[in-house]
Amino acid sequence: MKHLLKTAAAAAAVLGLAACGSGSPSAGTDASGSPAAGGEGLTPVTVGVIPIVDTAPIWLGEAEGLFAEEGLDLDIQTATGGSAIVPGVQSGSYDFAFSNLISIMVANDKGLDMSVVANGATTTGDAEHDFGGVVVNADSDIRTPKDLAGKKVSVNNLSNIGDTTIKDVIEADGGDAASVQFVEVPFPDAPAALENGVVDAAWIVDPFLTQAVDSGARLVSSNFVDFHPELDIAGYFTSQAKIDAEPELVERFTRAMNASLEFAQENPEKVRDIVGTYTKIDDETRAEIVLPRYRAEFDQEAAQKLADSAKKYGTLSNDADLEKLLP
């Protein structure tokens, strides 16, 4: 595990980068509300993303000129997490942004009016080979998800997609999800918390998952796949106000994003290469990590199950309106 701690510390920058931009007002319009001209006649568009593997398609699409083909000049701004991204969309600092689906559901549950306009990342569907999972130390007596009952499990954020899916997986395996104590530990710190006995199990995503397993940790559940093999994890979203005010801009962004997702899925090595331009994941690790599935379409059944589970476990107070939320 010593090698894991060193590599995890180095990879911490993946999730710890500060915002690159100042969060200026929406670049999609000028002072009069009309589309503003970008470089070479392109319309500037500001997108808030987290600098992780999941967001590779937008970086790749920009590099390959797929957004320029739609007349868009992207200003990709990085943020540390959804707590900064959702308010950025609400205020107009970002025209579009990336977040997991639960976070967007929660934002709407609290009275905001957000809609997803393009997919972001999807589970691989392979329980033995996914980019997120629950791991334990090699000598742990935890063997299956039901064994997590009564244990302390780390997630990066409470009341979000991690603990929601894990609770469902535990119950499906015959365990008592209500008895699990979830604790908030950032992904880069979770391997050390597991090794030191601070938690009994840790939910982590790549690159930390691959590093942990390579260093001796044991996978108990690929919770995304075990929850639903077609689960879409995240998407690109904007405010309903933006959709109403600039529907043509939204359509252009969606087309470019869908093309980028398809290109990324067809070119995994280019995905691994582009990840090295906006993260500090080294070449060796990038070659080993599991990539998400990138696709344009959403699986409605999986999304409905996610929304229902979020309501069941108290993450949402109301039923999510998926007809309004998803494209």
Q: Please list the helix, strand and coil fractions of the chain in percent, rounded to the nearest 5, in that order.
A: 45, 20, 35
Mode of pairing for the β-strands spanning 201-205 and 152-155? parallel
CATH dotted code for 18-123+231-278+297-325: 3.40.190.10
How far from 31 is each of 40, 93, 126, 250, 304, CA to CA, in Å? 20, 14, 49, 19, 40
Mean pLDDT, contiguous 10-residue spans, the chain (327 residues): 40 34 32 42 95 96 98 92 83 95 95 97 97 97 98 95 97 98 94 96 94 94 98 97 97 98 98 95 94 98 98 96 94
Distances (CA, A) of 209 to 105, 133, 152, 189: 26, 7, 18, 12
Helices (runs of H) and strands (runs of E) counted in the chain: 15, 10
Delimiting residues of CATH 3.40.190.10 domain(s) in the chain: 18-123+231-278+297-325, 132-227
The pLDDT value recorded for residue 79 is: 84
According to DSSP, the residues that pair with 146 across neighbouring strands are none
As a whole number of Å, the end-to-end CA separation of the chain is 43
May I ask the CATH architecture of the domain 132-227? 3-Layer(aba) Sandwich (3.40)
CA distance 76 to 228: 31
Distance CA 289, CA 314 (A): 33
pLDDT at 83: 66
Place of tokens 């993450």: 315
**Whole-model pTM?**
0.86
* DSSP alpha helix (H) spans, the chain: 2-11, 13-16, 56-63, 82-91, 101-109, 161-172, 190-195, 208-214, 223-227, 240-245, 247-266, 268-278, 283-288, 300-312, 322-325
